[in-house]
């Protein structure tokens, strides 16, 4: 099979890049096993703000302005609901936080995203929030599990090979990339944290941060709000809620742990007053980078090999615009912003 582009990996990053190619009528094949990845277990929260410190995310507005229409269009393409426009209610811990919120919400960087007036807690039987909430206005949840499953089975069924590649089986020449019976002009690796075993790009400083989460069932809790206390509590429909997450930079296994579970329960119990049942616990590794910026660009030696990675904790928000930047770079020779271009690491890390 001859194609223009081979995409390796179908998390939220691979999906967004596949969308660029599909919309631009460029022939491609995706190779990705059916296994779950960080994207599948993510809360899918699109949040332009940092709610710990009341900051805006880097490039928040342009990422958000691109992401929401992209997921809206995917919803239409799939004929399935995946985008839920829900406010995030940040639980205040003190009157000082109420004041800090008011100041942040009046700043130029945040006035579009935060409601100035804070909300008093009229759900006292459900949620412990004596100091009330601040509301994030332009937030949403993307059902990444449904999006990834439906995209695979409805949109690219004839262009997906469900297996994990062994990097040694890739044939790499200047003009082509081969893998089994596939011949492509170029390859774009979208492997998330697994990129650490990719011999072509393992020189990049991908750190990885393990995240554990729970799915709980809780009747009588509002399904119209994403709560942010010490952790997120986000509605998934049918009385199910996503609870998380832990951050662990040392353990790189995807095994769930008793410590993780107990930590999540203790944080949840600080603000959820209703009884609940734990249905599931999951763990995956986020692709986080030393300098907290994405990893996009071309291999220093192999000019038909590209990487799209390092989206950290904001893959759902950032991947749509990043995929446009990478597409323009690969197909139209446009420059990548220096802060995301992997050439920022070449001198320091590339040892060939």
11 lies in the site for ligand FAD, by CB under 6 A: yes
9 lies in the site for ligand FAD, by CB under 6 A: yes
Query: What is the DSSP annotation of 282-332?
Result: EEEEE--BTTSS-EEEE-SS-TTEEEEE--TT-HHHHHHHHHHHHHHHHHH
Residues in 168-197 that interact with ligand FAD by CB under 6 A: 190-194
DSSP state of 20: H
248 lies in the site for ligand FAD, by CB under 6 A: no
Distance of CA 262 to the CA centre of its chain: 25
- The interface region with ligand FAD, picked from 32-40, 71-79, 130-138, 336-344 by CB under 6 A, is 32-40
296 lies in the site for ligand FAD, by CB under 6 A: no
Of the candidate residues 3, 29, 31, 305, the single one contacting ligand FAD (CB under 6 A): 31
Altogether, the residues listed in the chain come to a count of: 352
35 lies in the site for ligand FAD, by CB under 6 A: yes
- The interface region with ligand FAD, picked from 39-47, 117-125, 223-231, 323-331 by CB under 6 A, is 39-47
244 lies in the site for ligand FAD, by CB under 6 A: yes
- The interface region with ligand FAD, picked from 30-38, 113-121, 131-139, 292-300 by CB under 6 A, is 30-38
% helix / strand / coil in the chain, to the nearest 5?
A: 30, 25, 40
- The interface region with ligand FAD, picked from 95-103, 294-302, 308-316, 335-343 by CB under 6 A, is 308-316
Closest distance between ligand FAD and the C-beta of residue 319, in Å?
Answer: 7
Of the candidate residues 314, 321, 323, 326, the single one contacting ligand FAD (CB under 6 A): 314
Closest distance between ligand FAD and the C-beta of residue 166, in Å?
Answer: 7
Neighbours of 219 (CB within 10 A): 9
CB 8 within 8 A of CB 190: yes
Distance of CA 91 to the CA centre of its chain: 23
Residue 108 in tokens: 């130029």
Q: Which is nearer to ligand FAD, 118 or 150 (CB)?
A: 150
Q: Which is nearer to ligand FAD, 134 or 315 (CB)?
A: 315
143 lies in the site for ligand FAD, by CB under 6 A: no
Instruction: Kindly report whether the peptide bond that precedes residue 149 is cis, defined as omega within 30 degrees of 0.
Output: no
Q: Which is nearer to ligand FAD, 8 or 147 (CB)?
A: 8
Q: Which is nearer to ligand FAD, 300 or 312 (CB)?
A: 312
- Cα–Cα distance measured from residue 13 to residue 9, given in angstroms and rounded to the nearest whole number: 8
Of the candidate residues 33, 130, 205, 337, the single one contacting ligand FAD (CB under 6 A): 33
235 lies in the site for ligand FAD, by CB under 6 A: no
10 lies in the site for ligand FAD, by CB under 6 A: yes
88 lies in the site for ligand FAD, by CB under 6 A: no
104 lies in the site for ligand FAD, by CB under 6 A: no
Beta bridge partners of 210: 248, 285
- Cα–Cα distance measured from residue 19 to residue 315, given in angstroms and rounded to the nearest whole number: 15
Angle of helix 12-23 versus helix 315-332 axis, rounded to 10: 40
Beta strands in the chain (DSSP E): 2-8, 28-31, 45-46, 49-50, 55-56, 83-84, 88-91, 133-136, 140-142, 160-161, 170-172, 177-179, 182-189, 209-217, 226-228, 232-237, 240-244, 277-286, 295-298, 305-309
Beta bridge partners of 135: 89
Number of residues that bind ligand FAD (CB under 6 A): 41
Binding positions for ligand FAD, rule: CB under 6 A = 8-14, 31-33, 35, 37-39, 41-45, 164-165, 190-194, 211, 213, 244-245, 284, 286-287, 309, 311-317
């Amino acid at each position: 099979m001859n194609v223009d582009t081979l995409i390796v990996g179908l998390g939220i990053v691979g999906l967004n890049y596949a969308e660029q190619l599909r919309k631009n009528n460029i022939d491609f094949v995706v190779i990705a096993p059916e296994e779950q990845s960080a994207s599948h277990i993510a809360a899918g929260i699109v949040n332009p703000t940092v709610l710990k410190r009341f900051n805006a995310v880097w490039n928040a507005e342009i990422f958000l302005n691109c992401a929401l229409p992209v997921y809206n269009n995917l919803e239409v393409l799939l004929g399935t609901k995946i985008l839920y426009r829900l406010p995030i209610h940040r639980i205040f811990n003190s009157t000082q936080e109420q004041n800090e919120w008011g100041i942040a919400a009046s700043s130029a960087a945040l006035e579009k995203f935060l409601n100035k007036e804070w909300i008093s807690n009229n759900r006292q039987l459900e949620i412990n929030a004596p100091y009330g909430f601040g509301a994030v206005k332009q937030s949403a949840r993307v059902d990444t599990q449904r999006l990834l499953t439906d995209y695979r089975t409805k949109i690219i069924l004839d262009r997906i090979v469900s297996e994990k590649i062994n990097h040694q089986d890739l044939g790499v020449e200047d003009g082509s990339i081969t893998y089994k019976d596939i011949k492509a002009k170029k390859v774009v690796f979208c492997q998330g944290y697994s990129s650490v075993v990719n011999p072509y790009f393992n020189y990049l400083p991908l750190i990885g941060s393990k995240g554990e989460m729970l799915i709980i069932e809780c009747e009588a809790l509002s399904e119209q709000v994403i709560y942010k206390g010490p952790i997120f509590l986000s509605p998934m429909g049918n009385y199910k809620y996503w609870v998380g997450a832990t951050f662990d930079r040392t353990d790189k296994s995807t095994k769930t742990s008793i410590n993780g579970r107990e930590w999540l329960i203790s944080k949840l119990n600080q603000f959820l007053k209703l009884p609940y049942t734990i249905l599931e616990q999951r763990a995956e590794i986020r692709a986080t980078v030393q300098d907290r910026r994405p990893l996009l660009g071309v291999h220093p030696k192999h000019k038909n090999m590209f990487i799209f990675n390092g989206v950290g904790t904001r893959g759902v928000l950032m991947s749509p615009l990043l995929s446009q930047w990478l597409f323009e770079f690969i197909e139209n020779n446009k420059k990548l912003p220096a802060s995301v271009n992997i050439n920022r690491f070449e001198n320091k890390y590339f040892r060939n």
